[in-house]
Amino acid sequence: MADIQQLSVRATTIEKEPKKMHLARREAIAAYLFISPWIVGFVLFLLAPVAISLYASFTRWTLIGPPPRWVGFENFEQIFTRDRYFWSSIRITLEFILLTLPPGLILGLSLALLLNQKVRGIRLFRTIFYIPAVVSGVAVSILWLNLLNSEVGAVNQILRSLGVVDPPNWLNSTQWVRPAVAIMSLWGVGGTAVIYLAGLQNIPIHLYEAAEIDGASSWQAFWKITLPLISPTLFFMLITGLIASFQVFTPALILGTGTGGFFSPSPELRFYLVHLYTVAFREGKLGTASALAWIFIILSGIVTLGVYYISEKWVYYEESGVNNDTKT
């Protein structure tokens, strides 16, 4: 009897243990089945291309023609020493960043502050401000191509009526073509305002109430409360803005080609990505283009880390981690 009891006890423990393990294993197997598309995609569409392009950057690899041939560091050497467009594309891109990023950050935050006012009909304005962010870049570029027409375009008509005797030639001027693209991209700055707005609305109201009780002016409240608490968002926008500026492409390709050849950009608008595209698909040098892509990957990594390092000094995180887990 006792034996049987003992036996049954042992039987249940034996049975229970594997069942529990079995359950955890079943859950793991199920989970891996669920995420299998990502694993396949990660290997196939991310690791594989990155590996191929790393290899390609050390080869002479052409769009059409002989199979790739190993050339060592020749592509990089060529880019850094003999490619006359490489340095100019970096310079043009940096200049464009200076032209668009500071005004973009300031305008975006100002619009967000404006949208944060509790006045009637504010949602309608939010809807309007965000429109440029959803419309096609090609259509917008073609639209501005017409608005910026130096003789009959609307922009210069406005300038003339304001008394500007000799308004810029915009797209036909080597000097004004980049400011023209900058104006176009600043037209879409309302898209970023929405992100700042979410940051502003996350600031607890009691901080402002406390400041008001202490007799702080709204100007002081902005510098002491709003700006520090919005700094993580500003920092995020700075990084994404920097990296986005290196990816200016559609407007440059459409405004820059004007009515000339099919997708052959003018030198003034040969931004980094435009240069990369031209090398790859107009000149068919995929090896060199891969090297350019890798330079870009490394550069954006450095920029992200660098800005991150600098930001430690001035970005204020209310209890570290509070921003990492915001529920959607």
Partner 1 sequence: MTQKLSAVPLWQDRRFRGAIFNFFIYAILIAVGAIILLPLSWMLTAALRGEGETVFTVPTSWFPTESFHFENFARILTYESYPLWRPTLNTLFLVTLNVIGTVLSNSLIAFAFARLRFPGRDLLFRIIVFTMLLPGAALLIPSFLLFNQLGWYGTYYPLWVPAFFGNAWSIFITRQYMRSFPRDLDDAARIDGCGYFGIYRHIILPMSKPVLTVLAVFTIVGVWNDFTGPLIYLSNSDQFTLAIALDYFRRSAFSTMSVNTTNLVMAASLLSVLPILILYFFLQEYLIGGIASVGLKG
- Binders in 185-224 for partner 1, by CB under 8 A: 187, 190-191, 194-199, 202
Cβ-proximal residues to 77 (8 Å cutoff; 6+ apart), any chain: none
Provide the b/e sequence for 219-253 (b: ≥16 CB within 10 Å).
eebeeebbeebbbbbbbbbbbebbebbbebbebbb
CB of 206 to partner 1, least distance (A): 20
Structure tokens at 275: 């240069």
Residues 37-96 that bind partner 1 (CB under 8 A): 37-38, 40-42, 44-46, 48-50, 52-53, 56, 61
Residue with Cβ nearer partner 1 (14 or 29): 29
Query: Which of residues 99 and 274 has its CB atom nearest to partner 1 in the complex?
Result: 274
Q: What distance in Å separates the CA atoms of residue 320 and residue 309, rounded to the nearest whole number?
A: 15
Among 3, 4, 19, 34, which residue interacts with partner 1 (rule: CB under 8 A)? 34
Minimum distance, C-beta of residue 35 to partner 1, in the bound complex (Å): 5
Cα–Cα distances in Å, from 42 out to 37, 48, 50, 57?
A: 8, 8, 11, 21
Residues in region 263-282 near partner 1 by CB under 8 A: 263, 273, 276-277, 280-281
Least spacing, CB of residue 4 vs partner 1, in Å: 32
Q: How far is the CB of 309 from partner 1 (least distance, A)?
A: 15
Could you give the CA distance from residue 123 to residue 164 in angstroms, rounded to a whole number? 36
Place of tokens 């995929």: 286
Task: Write out the binding residues for partner 1, residues 219-258 only, by CB under 8 A.
Answer: 232-233, 235-237, 243, 246-247, 249-250, 253-254
Closer residue to partner 1 (CB): 180 or 253: 253
- Of 10 and 16, nearer to partner 1 (C-beta) is 16
176 vs 271 by CB, closer to partner 1:
271
Residue 284, by phi and psi: left (phi above 0), alpha (psi -120 to 50) or beta?
Answer: left
State the nearest-atom distance from the C-beta of 88 to partner 1, in Å.
19
**How many residues bind partner 1, per CB under 8 A?**
100
Is the Cβ of residue 28 or residue 98 nearer to partner 1 in the bound state? 28
For residue 299 the two structure tokens come to 């550069």
**Contact at 8 Å (CB) between 101 and 311?**
no
Among 19, 117, 206, 214, binds partner 1 (CB under 8 A): 117
The footprint of partner 1 on residues 118-177 (CB under 8 A) is: 119, 122, 125-139, 142-144, 146-147, 149, 152-154, 157-158, 161
Cβ closer to partner 1: 13 or 320? 320
* Cα gap 169→258, rounded to integer Å: 13
Shortest CB 82 distance to partner 1, Å: 20
Cα–Cα distance measured from residue 231 to residue 313, given in angstroms and rounded to the nearest whole number: 11
Here the contacts of 58-61 (C-beta below 8 Å, separation 24 or greater) are: 58/287, 59/287, 60/285, 60/287, 61/285, 61/286, 61/287, 61/290
Take residue 312 and report the two structure tokens written for it. Answer: 């430690």
